Amino acid sequence: MAVLERLAADVDEDGRRGVAGNVGSPGSALELFATDGSADIRGEIAGNQMAPAGVVQLLATDKSVRVRRQIAANVNVPAEVLKSLVSDKDADVRTNIARNERTLSGVLSQLANDVSAKVRGGVAENVKTPRAALETLSLDSDPKVRANVKSNPRSTLAMRASAALLEQ
């Protein structure tokens, strides 16, 4: 731990980045770096599955889209934090939320109607997506979305058949 603490005090960005992304880093170091001037450092923390809850909540409002994308992709981020990002203007943030298995079913249902086919495709591949949303997505205009529905283990035979019919 002493090595990580020394690196946390390092002015070198590579040293700080190493601490920020290390799941063994002390929470105090991650809290310190949550306001680092480098979006790369904040992005490493956002992707760190052991980042403290307060840090995660702070980074969910970060001005850097890279940081918000990392938060949305982090499998240990609380569902409520993911929900707070559902209206993010960046489609990749919303896509990461759609793919994250911690996302609440109501949020997945909401994202199933997103303007971005990439986001809808993320919803279609999430094994936690409610069947009603999968049914809607099986009729989506985008072939990649329908393909994701067909490969989702929660999709029914009827959903797969509907998606396949649109391929013809």
- Could you tell me if 82 and 71 lie in one domain? no
Residue given tokens 């499998």 in the structure block: 75
What pLDDT is stored for residue 136 in this prediction? 96
The answer on 117 and 56 residing in a single domain is: no
In this structure, the answer to whether residues 83 and 162 fall within a common structural domain is yes
Global pTM reads 0.89
Residues 102 and 38 in one domain: no
Shared-domain flag, residues 38 and 120: no
Domain boundary among 76, 93, 109: 76
Query: Do 9 and 52 belong to one domain?
Result: yes
The domain boundary, picked from 27, 55, 76, lies at 76
Are 63 and 134 part of one and the same domain? Answer: no
Chosen domain end from 76, 101, 134:
76
Identify which of 35, 41, 52 has the alpha carbon closest to the alpha carbon of residue 15. 41
64, pLDDT greater than 80: yes
pLDDT in the model for residue 1 = 47
111 and 66 both lie in a single domain: no
pLDDT of residue 13: 83
Kindly report the three-state secondary structure assignment for every residue of the chain: CHHHHHHHCCCCHHHHHHHHHCCCCCHHHHHHHCCCCCHHHHHHHHHCCCCCHHHHHHHCCCCCHHHHHHHHHCCCCCHHHHHHCCCCCCHHHHHHHHHCCCCCHHHHHHHCCCCCHHHHHHHHHCCCCCHHHHHHHCCCCCHHHHHHHHHCCCCCHHHHHHHHHCCC
| Mean pLDDT confidence for 134-140 | 96
Q: Which range of residues forms the domain containing residue 158?
A: 78-168
% of the chain beyond a pLDDT of 90: 75
Please tell me whether residues 88 and 54 are part of one structural domain.
no
My answer on whether 116 and 132 are in the same domain is yes
Kindly indicate the confidence band of residue 6, based on its pLDDT and cuts at 50, 70 and 90.
Answer: low
Number of domains in the chain: 2
